[in-house]
Amino acid sequence: MPTATAPARAPRPRDKRPGPRRAARTVLSPLTAWLTRPLASFHLLLAVFGLLTVFGLVMVLSASSVDSFTSAGSSYSVFGKQVLYCLAGLVFFYAALRAPVKLLRRISLPVMVACLVLLVLVLTPLGTEINGAQSWFYVGVSFQPVEFAKIALAVWGAHVLVTKRALLTQYRHLLVPVVPAALLMFALVVLQPDLGSTVTLFIVLAALLWFAGAPLRMFGVMLLGGVTAVVALAMVAEYRLARLTSFLDPTGDPSGSGYQAMQARFALADGGLFGRGLGQGWSKWQYLPNVHNDFIFAVIGEELGFVGCLMVLVLYGTTAYAGMRIATRNTDPFIRLLSATLTTWLVGQAVINIGYVVGLLPTTGLPLPLISSGGSSVVTTMLVFGLLANFARHEPEAIAALRSLGPGRVGRLLRLPTPAPYRPPGRRRPRQSTPPSRPGAKSSGTAGARRGSTTRARGTRNGPGSRAQTRGGHR
């Protein structure tokens, strides 16, 4: 008896709408392909640098317009100075972009000594006191020597640690002379007094030791000592103690020590998701002190909302990615250590500034890099970006592309030299001592043979196919 078969079901039509995975693949695959290019780190860093600079100028103009009109009768006085500072910073950026790596290592010690001398001189009557801290020199324009001392400590410390990298397993070679010089710099900055710059110098020292491979127990001791020093300094100075108590309880004195923190939170809350609009914020109408300097992130949140704040976080996150990418893709240990240290300092300062604006950290007075107004901070930050861009062109893939395909559009426009590849130093071989000849022995033939064998040995050691010549070792 034949059995009835069920009719076959028609296949379901496939949904042609792209799923989330396919959409993510569609977006990420061009980005991944672009990041595999030899000069991707260089172009990515230049893009972030340009965006932060332009965004910083726009926000300085918006945040300082009321204060500038009140004090100088023009809404563009602070903005005009900031433009001049950016032009000066571009000169430093270009100089750092063209500087050879060997030159940076050669001048690191003289620059470090010069910065220490300036930190001593700023404590004398030659220095100028502004906002309770004698941290400035005034020579037509005011500048802070401690901002340049941060870069000097990073470059010189990286040079010393890389030179002694074979001995860093011993504590005395790991700590001396970098840590004593850093402690001297800390003491000179504390005497100004400038607690915020002391914190950033501590970040530079900790980054140097961390990326040099220091043991973890050393950082536990450093963290304990740093916290103890900060608490002790806060107890000594009354204004530091007021900052600490206002951080713990900002509503305890809302019209005094907690006023600035409370107004910053009000500005962020007033911005909402998309903000009130560029130039439409109320906090700059003398409600929030230092609105165009230390607390400019509050203006960003008020006028551009959460979206604007997220954009700033993405830019600094991209800076961190680009800097660490440069450090990991290079073969020169000096470039690796210095790139990671400068990136940690730059992003760490941004995290501290954003942290105390949103109420997660005590107020330290550190500017937001490339966004806050200020001459010394903008110039030194552009100098750091110039160094990182220079190191991005020293990646092995970038050097090979520049040598085979030419300098490219950006290199041709800026007239950048082709970087030299890194050649590790050759190992020194111990000298072989020749035994003294016996008195009265005839050694003319043996001496000649010995000289001939020595000549042949030297010829084979330094010949065209030798290890020293192929590796390019230098004494």
Comparing 267 with 449, the larger pLDDT belongs to 267
Percent of the chain with pLDDT over 70: 84
For the segment 244-271, the average pLDDT, to the nearest whole number, is: 82
Cβ(395)–Cβ(38) under 8 Å?
yes
Residues 6+ apart with CB under 8 A from 473: 423, 424, 425, 426, 427, 467
- Of the candidates 445, 345, 444, 335, the one whose C-alpha atom is nearest the C-alpha of residue 391 is 335
HSE (CB half, 13 Å, CA atoms) of 111? 20
The CA-based angle 176-333-407, given to 5 degrees, is 140
Q: Which pTM was predicted? A: 0.84
Residue 365 confidence (pLDDT): 82
Assess whether the previous peptide bond of 177 is cis (omega < 30° from 0). Answer: yes
Band of residue 258 on the pLDDT scale cut at 50, 70, 90: confident
pLDDT above 50 for 219: yes
The chain-wide mean pLDDT, for the chain, equals: 84
SS3 string, the chain, reads CCCCCCCCCCCCCCCCCCCHHHHHHHHHHHHHHHHCCCCHHHHHHHHHHHHHHHHHHHHHHHHHHHHHHHHHCCCCHHHHHHHHHHHHHHHHHHHHHHCCHHHHHHHHHHHHHHHHHHHHHCCCCCCEEECCEEEEEEECEEECHHHHHHHHHHHHHHHHHHHCHHHCCCHHHHHCCHHHHHHHHHHHHHCCCCHHHHHHHHHHHHHHHHHCCCCHHHHHHHHHHHHHHHHHHHHHCHHHHHHHHHHHCHHHCCCCCCHHHHHHHHHHHHHCCCCCCCCCCCCCCCCCCCCCCCCHHHHHHHHHHHHHHHHHHHHHHHHHHHHHHHHHHCCCHHHHHHHHHHHHHHHHHHHHHHHHHCCCCCCCCCCCCCCCCCHHHHHHHHHHHHHHHHHHCCCHHHHHHHHHHCCHHHHHHHCCCCCCCCCCCCCCCCCCCCCCCCCCCCCHHHHHHHHHHHHHHHHHHCCCCCHHHHHCCCC
pLDDT tens profile 292-339: 888 999 999 999 999 999 999 999 999 999 999 999 999 999 999 999
- Of the candidates 119, 255, 137, the one whose C-alpha atom is nearest the C-alpha of residue 190 is 119
Residue 108 confidence (pLDDT): 96
pLDDT above 70 for 440: no
Q: Of the spans 17-21, 103-107, 263-267, which averages the highest pLDDT?
A: 103-107
Give bridge partners of residue 143 from the DSSP assignment.
137
Band of residue 387 on the pLDDT scale cut at 50, 70, 90: very high
pLDDT tens profile 3-60: 555 555 555 555 555 566 665 566 677 878 888 899 999 999 999 999 999 999 999 9
Residue 289 confidence (pLDDT): 83
Residue 441 confidence (pLDDT): 46
Crossing angle for the helix pair 145-163 and 195-211, nearest 10 degrees? 20
Residue 7 confidence (pLDDT): 55
pLDDT above 50 for 267: yes
In angstroms, the CA 69 to CA 77 distance is 8
Give bridge partners of residue 133 from the DSSP assignment.
130
> Cα–Cα distances in Å, from 424 out to 333, 336, 430, 475?
9, 14, 19, 11
Edge-first strand listing for the sheet containing 128-130: 128-130, 133-139, 141-143
- Of the candidates 348, 291, 390, the one whose C-alpha atom is nearest the C-alpha of residue 382 is 390
Neighbours of 92 (CB within 10 A): 21
Cβ(429)–Cβ(78) under 8 Å?
no
- Length reported for the chain: 475
Residue with tokens 């980054």: 207
Q: Name the phi and psi angles at 362, rounded to 5.
A: -70, 155
Residue 446 confidence (pLDDT): 43
pLDDT tens profile 350-369: 999 999 999 898 888 899 99
In angstroms, the CA 357 to CA 269 distance is 12
Residue 32 confidence (pLDDT): 84
Residue 400 confidence (pLDDT): 93
Identity of the amino acid at 453:
S
Residues 6+ apart with CB under 8 A from 294: 353, 363, 365, 366, 367, 368, 372
pLDDT above 70 for 249: yes
Q: Name the phi and psi angles at 294, rounded to 5.
A: -70, -30
Residue 351 confidence (pLDDT): 96
pLDDT tens profile 113-123: 999 999 999 99
Q: Name the phi and psi angles at 142, rounded to 5.
A: -95, 145
pLDDT tens profile 131-175: 778 888 988 788 899 999 999 999 999 999 999 998 998 988 989
Question: Hey, what are 176's tokens?
Answer: 């001396």
Residue 469 confidence (pLDDT): 36
Residue with tokens 């509503």: 251
pLDDT above 90 for 455: no
pLDDT above 50 for 462: no
Comparing 385 with 18, the larger pLDDT belongs to 385
pLDDT above 70 for 416: yes
Percent of the chain with pLDDT over 90: 51
Residues 6+ apart with CB under 8 A from 448: none
pLDDT above 50 for 464: no
Question: Hey, what are 103's tokens?
Answer: 């030159």
pLDDT tens profile 59-76: 999 999 988 888 888 889
